[in-house]
Structure 1
Amino acid sequence: MAKGTSLQDPFLNTLRKDRIPVSIFLINGIKLQGTIESFDQFVIVLNNNSNQMVYKHAISTIVPSKNVNTQNFEND
């Protein structure tokens, strides 16, 4: 499991800490927008005037509003 999260966790944590607005596309085509408040192994809490819990298994794509430097992320 740790191998699968070696890129995901630092990426999401950077988006959360820097409060970078994101667009999250779900597998059913719905687009959600906001900032990531928190996340764990199974969910992301997205804030856009109110908190919304999104299950990771329902997410297709996360698109940040600006580039995120991934060079320093650990990648096993």
Structure 2
Amino acid sequence: MSRIASLQDPFLNALRKEKISVSIYLVNGIKLQGVIEAFDQFSIVLRNSVNQMVYKHAISTVVPAKAVRLVYSNYNPNHSQQNHNSDQEDDFESMDETSFEESYDDVNNADDHYNQQSAQQ
């Protein structure tokens, strides 16, 4: 069975390599903060005052503290799993450079709103 390229791997790897602080929001609303130490297919190790392993199925959103420049290699956004033939090699483009840019003012405003709601409870 051939492997389909993952968007999360280059994103998480860039955060890990550059030691960028992240906020991880869980599906139950809990917010975790720290630096990604390691990750695999099913979990992320997040370091703050202690290391914690977070299962990916429990994660809703990963928000970096600053913009991250990503290079996606072997990723084709038009790749369809429905048309995938496991007997053939994946048809990927080589080195498609993509930048992850986001308005961090909006993220910080959402963070402030989240903190205010948590304080009221």
- TM-score, normalised on structure 2? 0.58
Name 1:28's counterpart in structure 2: 28
* Higher normalized strand content (fraction of residues): 1
Name 2:66's counterpart in structure 1: 66
Q: Which runs of 4+ in 1 moved over 6 A?
A: none
**SS at structure 1 position matched to 2:69:** coil
Matched residues, percent identical?
A: 64
Q: Which has the higher contact order (CA 8 A, sep 6+)?
A: 1
Any gaps of 5 or more consecutive residues in structure 2? 77-121
Report the count of equivalent residues. Answer: 74
Name 2:45's counterpart in structure 1: 45
RMSD between superposed Cα atoms in Å: 1.4
Partner AA of 1:28 in structure 2: N
Any gaps of 5 or more consecutive residues in structure 1? none
- Return the offset for 1:4: 5.4
